[in-house]
Amino acid sequence: MDVTLVYHLTFTRAMMEAPILQRLCTRFDLTVTLRRAILSEEGGWAEVAFAGKMDEASRALAWLQTTGVTTTGPLDAVVGPAEGVPAAVGR
């Protein structure tokens, strides 16, 4: 069964130098859509939608956690303003 799951991913500064999202796209049979993100000198976060088979999405999330990326979700599929962030930022 195909699903679309939206997750909030949190990265440290060191992780931003690694091609984590590129590896995610090549290792797993999913469509990965970056919905919004904010990066700073300290680190950052991204809201990412994974579309594909549920078992493949589960494997991808498990792999992400082995990289040190913090995953939160699944979130609601509707994009709304991030708490504490103006609506025009990160869209």
Task: Give residue-wise pLDDT tens across range 5-61.
Answer: 999 999 999 898 899 999 999 999 999 999 999 999 999 999 999 999 999 999 999
For residues 71-75, average pLDDT? 92
**Rounded to whole angstroms, how far apart are CA atoms 79 and 55?**
24
Q: Which two tokens stand for residue 59?
A: 């494997």
Distances (CA, A) of 21 to 25, 39, 46, 81, 88: 6, 14, 10, 23, 24
Backbone φ and ψ of 76, nearest 5°: -60, 145
The neighbouring-strand residues paired with 70 are 10
